[in-house]
Structure 1
Amino acid sequence: MDAPVVAQEEAAADSWPLLSWMASCLMVFGGALPYVPQYQDIRKSGHADGFSTRVCLVLLVANILRIFFWIGKQFELTLLLQSVVMIVTMFAILHLCCEVQNTNRVSTRQHRLSDLDFRYFWKWSAFEDYLLFCFGFTVLCAVVTLLLLDSPLFVETLGSAAVMFEAMLGLPQLLQNFHNSSTKGMSVKMVLLWTAGDVFKTSYFVMNESPSQFWVCGSVQIVIDVAILLQVLLYGQDTRDKLG
């Protein structure tokens, strides 16, 4: 074999681990990037009315379930780390939403988890209530997983539930936009990054032969992302401002 050909093959072999490492880093932190412009928009405007905090609920539930799925079926460590980063990101968004909502609150009425009023589920005034709910949900998942960890059916069901929730990531935002007949207050940059990230991670799942639940989830997310972008075109309100 010619020396130049050997050198090229060695260079390609050396570059592949680096590309793989970069792709893994993008998978770990890339999922949190779309929420940076939304966080900045909420901080700048001082209100969070256009952003559906139920997006945070969906992602928190999905990633908590994914962590327990990993305990039962050790898939890529990259995806486990991604879940940890996403949970931290969602708590940061919720903390900011509570902060601005309490600052702008005209009424003295505070909605708390302890009120046990389902009408205000996930519309609580205190950030601590969101932490408490997630802690209780995590403990419940831990107990059930401990009891049923030896059941392959349970583990697969857990994985399916995790990706099903994650697949519904954009649905609360889609429904809120439809209810408001507007996308005002929602960061279009966030949705564009959602779309780019979902295309990337779905490709990543397929190439790395991840459990089928993951790439199915990614495909559904892409469809919902496109639907939200169509809402932006349909309602056409303040699009240039949100892109600026």
Structure 2
Amino acid sequence: MDTVVDELSLSLSNVVKWIAIGAIVFGGIVPYIPQYKEIKRTEDTEGFSLFVCLTLLIANTLRIFFWFGKQYELPLLIQSIIMNITMLAMVHLCVNIRNKNQIIRSKDKVFSDFDLQYFWAWTDFISYIDFLIVFHIACGIVMYLFIDVPLFVELVGFLAVLFEAMLGVPQLKKNYQNKSTLGMSVQMVLMWTTGDIFKTIYFLVRQAPPQFWICGVLQILIDIGILTQVYWYRNSSGVRAKKQDMPD
């Protein structure tokens, strides 16, 4: 009887473990599904900051190279690869819609122009791929040269989580500039918050490198800031609308 109970307990433990791994690997991309659908439905990218994609692409690329210097859990590595693919899909959609919405076709802005004024605002998707190829090559060369220097490896890990922790900052700034959260998927931010809480707990339980859980805590704080913007700007819009409706 004890043997059966032990086997059931072990089986249940394995199921929970695989569910947790699946959540870590694929949970990160789930928040972007409602934002992707929102952009595709409205054909409007104004409410979404494309720099969110840049931040995650840099963070996850650095995390991938960090793995070669300090091999953390494989699910976290797979998560980074899948996240990069997801961010490229978001960039592809936004670039296509921006080009489609142009009434008067302006001059193409491409990566090979090396014009900082239009950095990450290029008009063709290939330019974003070109930038990432150059970034990967540069990271690969530097990592190859200094992979035996523990301090450098730890610095790469720190930069990876620092960029990831700053994920919500471009969206926070975009909302502030627009004085609105219209066009931004609130579902995306709520999923960010839920995922970041789960992820931070996972990092602590699994004793991941300190950089990971520090990143998680910072992300949760920024998520709360964006949700505060949602509440504030929606209430402010409601007050303005009531004042406009009031008779003189």
TM-score, reference length from structure 2: 0.92
Alignment map for 1:132-143 (pairs within 5 Å): 132-143=130-141
Q: Does 1:55 align with 2:39?
A: no
Q: Shift in Å at residue 12 of structure 1?
A: 1.4
Aligned pair 1:14/2:26, yes or no?
no
Shift in Å at residue 15 of structure 1?
0.9
Aligned partner of residue 79 in structure 1, secondary structure: helix
Cα distance in 2 for partners of 1:116, 1:140 equals: 16
* 1:199 counterpart (189, 194, 197): 197
Q: Does 1:131 align with 2:126?
A: no
Q: Which amino acid aligns with 2:85?
A: V
CA RMSD of aligned residues (A): 1.5
105-114 or 142-151: which moved more? 105-114
Residue 212 of structure 1: aligned partner: 210
1:114, distance to aligned residue in structure 2 (A)? 2.1
Which residue of 88, 92, 103 maps to 1:91? 88
CA distance in 1, matches of 2:114, 2:154: 32
Residue 163 in 1 paired to residue 143 in 2?
no
Deviation at 1:6, TM superposition (A): 5.2
Alignment of 1:66-77 (within 5 A): 66-77=63-74
Task: Give the CA deviation at 1:10.
Answer: 3.1
1:43 and 1:28 map into 2 onto residues whose CA distance is 25
Q: 1:223 aligns with which of 190, 214, 221?
A: 221
Q: Percent identity?
A: 49
The equivalent residue for 1:36 is 33
**SS at 1:236 equivalent:** helix
Give the secondary-structure state (helix, strand or coil) at the position aligned to 2:33. Answer: helix
For 1:50, the aligned partner's letter is G
- Corresponding residue number in structure 1 for 2:240: none
Q: Do residues 118 (structure 1) and 116 (structure 2) align?
A: yes
**Alpha-carbon distance in 1 for matches of 2:138, 2:38:** 35
Aligned-partner SS, 2:71? coil
In structure 2, the residue matched to 1:242 is none
Q: How far has the Cα of 1:22 moved from its partner? A: 1.1
1:118-160 Cα deviation digits (max 9, x unpaired): 1211011100000000010000000000000111011000000
> Aligned pair count?
236
Deviation at 1:61, TM superposition (A): 0.2
1:64 counterpart = 2:45:
no
Counterpart of 2:186 in structure 1 is 188
**Unaligned residue ranges in structure 2 (runs of 5+):** 238-248
Q: TM-score, normalised by structure 1?
A: 0.94
Amino acid at match of 1:56: C
- In 1, distance between residues paired with 2:176 and 2:48? 13
2:101 and 2:74 map into 1 onto residues whose CA distance is 41
CA distance in 1, matches of 2:49, 2:221: 18
Quote the Cα distance in structure 1 between the aligned partners of 2:210 and 2:6.
Answer: 32
Q: What do the CA deviations read for 1:139-198 (whole angstroms, capped 9, x no partner)?
A: 000000000011101100000000000000000000010011000110000000000000
What is the letter of the counterpart of residue 71 of structure 2?
A: Q
Residue 79 (str. 1) matches residue 76 (str. 2) = yes
Aligned-partner Cα distance in 1 for 2:118–2:47: 17
- Distance in 2 (alpha carbons) for counterparts of 1:165 and 1:90: 14
